[in-house]
Amino acid sequence: MDDAMIARIRANPSYIELKRKRGAFSWILTVIMLVIYYTYIYFVAFEPGVLAEPIASGDVTSIAIPIGIFVILSAIVLTGIYVWRANGEFDRLTRRIAEEVQ
């Protein structure tokens, strides 16, 4: 790819739109994941008694287990949401950019 084509791509309005949308969306998902993860870590570090509570009276499994599973599953779901949007809207924009700069 030569410098002229790179310049045409960077100047393309669809490329600017793609960059803006993809960046904003990925930052939103990043913030959501960080809030979920660091909230869990906060409770592990500073409020361990809350996570040590059993799920039910007389149960040996603490509430930390399902919450930990939620943290893991939320990462998987957020990744799936990103992939779904990337394979849809972002790929359409990428194809449009490729067509416009040819």
**What is the structure's pLDDT at 88?**
95
What is the band of 101 on the pLDDT scale with cuts at 50, 70, 90?
A: confident
* Domains in the chain, number: 1
Is 90 exceeded by the pLDDT of residue 10? yes
Give mean pLDDT, residues 5-31: 94
Q: Which residues contact 34 (CB under 8 A, 6 or more apart)?
A: none
Is 80 exceeded by the pLDDT of residue 1? no
Dihedral of the alpha carbons of 76, 52, 41, 75, in degrees to the nearest 10? 0
Domain that holds residue 11: 3-101
**What is the structure's pLDDT at 42?**
97
Is 80 exceeded by the pLDDT of residue 9? yes
Q: How far apart are CA 96 and CA 11, in angstroms?
A: 14
This prediction has a pTM of 0.84
